[in-house]
Amino acid sequence: MTISAKNIQFDGAAMLIELSNARTLRIPLARFPRLLNATPGQLNDWELTPRGIHWDTLDEDISIDGLLEEKDAPRPHPHSML
């Protein structure tokens, strides 16, 4: 089953992505400088694509698969990095 975005909203410094599997991702805009520095009008000028989200005026594309892989990746334990 392919998971896709159904809707996008912005909440202050984060993007909320409603997914087709009933999950919602909250992604800090700081991860995407073009989005972080965009005007509200530019942020809301998005379109859903088969692979993710596209902002034509910002020349930005975000892959849902990439976000999910990163979100689900195991995080190293802070003490294991000593």
pTM assigned to the model: 0.81
- Would you say residue 43 lies in a domain? yes
Residues of the chain with pLDDT under 50: 80-82
Domain count, the chain: 1
Write down the pLDDT at residue 13. 92
Number of residues written out for the chain: 82
CA distance 25 to 32: 15
Write down the pLDDT at residue 12. 86
Please list, in sequence order, all residues whose beta carbon lies within 8 angstroms of the beta carbon of residue 8, skipping any fewer than 6 positions away.
15, 16, 17, 18, 46, 48, 53
- Would you say residue 40 lies in a domain? yes
Please list, in sequence order, all residues whose beta carbon lies within 8 angstroms of the beta carbon of residue 53, skipping any fewer than 6 positions away.
5, 8, 17, 46, 47, 61, 62, 64
- Would you say residue 78 lies in a domain? no
**3-class SS at 49?**
coil
- Would you say residue 82 lies in a domain? no
Range of the domain at 63: 5-73
